[in-house]
Amino acid sequence: MARQILPQRSLTTTLSAFLYRRSISAAAVDEPLNPTATVPPPSPPPPPHISNLRTRTPLEKQFETWLGKLKPGFTSYDVDEALRAQTDPDLAFDIFRWTGQQRGYKHTSTTYLTMIQIAVSGKRYFQAETLVEEIVAGACSGSVPLYNSVIKFCCGRKFLFNRAFDVYKKMMNGEDTKPNLETYKLLLDSLLRRFNNVNVCYVYLRGVKSLSKQMKASGVIPDTFASNMIIKAHAKCHELDQSIRVFREMGLYGNEPNAYTYCYLIHGLCEKGRVGEGLGFYKEMRGKSLVPKGSTYMILICSLAMEQLFKDSIKVIFDMLNDSMQPDMLTYKTLLEGLCREGRVDDAFDILEEFRKKDSFMNEKTYKNLLNGLHYVSCK
């Protein structure tokens, strides 16, 4: 096919028309849509910010109000009243710190005692720990109530356990701050809470023995609560002779044993295998109309059954039911299956029926489990 050759005039005309259209489109893009609209002048810079004076918070107002009430030459009595009047522990701590920085004034044991009580009750434990360190360092003259309050706080905090005994040593070294009965009870209770297992018990038992000796040497007469803690500590470590000795000493101090005293002894004696002595203490406490705990009942019942003292075991279990307590499955099985193994199968079935009538908490499932266990043991 022959190639068509445009004439020179036609090519020039076409190129001119294309360039003309391109220039028009470019001009349309560059020009604003509204030629009559004017560009707004730039906005003037904003005026410089004028900061208003910061308003005081209610806490600051209260702080300044109380500072105004503390007249020049205020005493520790005035500061103590100001601290006790505060409902906000943080405000009380601010007042405590501000007054302590004033010339001619020094906090006393009374103000420190009030402040540490406010901090602990307000759960400001970090502030309380700071106060404890200041007291131990000698920031104020000590007193027995102050030191006891510090020991109580430290005994309740696991990582401050050793600090409690540092305060105790500080009390022993002071002339007017000798430990009293409350001090020893706080420390004994703190030690007993760490008797988790037998191995740990022996470690802390040394501390119990040391405190007991120092208490007697200081002329502090233990009460029933303190004696019970010492008895419990020895019983936990299976030092039953020491527990019984402390029990006998209670009468010398005019202390009457309570149910906890007998429970600690019975529990320890049964664990040690001295079941007869445990039964004797049980009869003694029942003669005083004292009721043991459910755990003491059950360990005594099982121990008597394992020693083949079935008559006493049955009597104790009926005492437990009369006191509206329910033995667990293991206690029932130990007694009933023990009877079967000794050839007293009929007695075991008869006693089970008696237990079913007496124990209002025994359901059908428990009864069937015990009955099946007796059938299994009797058929062996």
Q: What is the residue extent of each domain of the chain?
A: 60-143
How far, in Å, CA of 30 to CA of 232, rounded? 100
Q: What is the pLDDT of residue 40?
A: 57
Look at residue 380 and tell me whether its pLDDT is greater than 90: no
Which band of pLDDT confidence, cut at 50, 70 and 90, is reported for residue 144? very high
For the full predicted model, state whether its pTM sits above 0.95.
no
pLDDT (0 to 100) of residue 58: 63
- Name the residue with higher pLDDT: 89 or 380: 89
Higher pLDDT residue, 50 or 370?
A: 370
Amino acid letter for position 5? I
pLDDT tens per residue, range 288-340 = 999 999 999 999 999 999 999 999 999 999 999 999 999 999 999 999 999 99
Query: How many CB atoms are located within 10 Å of the residue 225 CB?
Result: 14
Task: Mark out the alpha helices in the chain (DSSP H runs).
Answer: 8-30, 58-69, 76-84, 89-100, 109-121, 125-136, 144-155, 161-173, 181-192, 198-217, 224-236, 240-249, 259-272, 275-287, 294-306, 310-322, 329-341, 345-358, 364-379
Provide the pLDDT for residue 10: 40
Range 70-78 average pLDDT: 87
Looking at the predicted structure, is the pLDDT value of residue 56 above 90? Answer: no
- Kindly report, residue by residue over 196-235, the tens digit of the pLDDT: 777 788 889 999 999 999 999 999 999 999 999 999 999 9
Q: What whole-number percentage of the chain has pLDDT above 90? A: 66
Contacts of 204 (CB under 8 A, 6+ apart): 191, 192, 194, 195, 233
Max Cα separation, the chain? 143
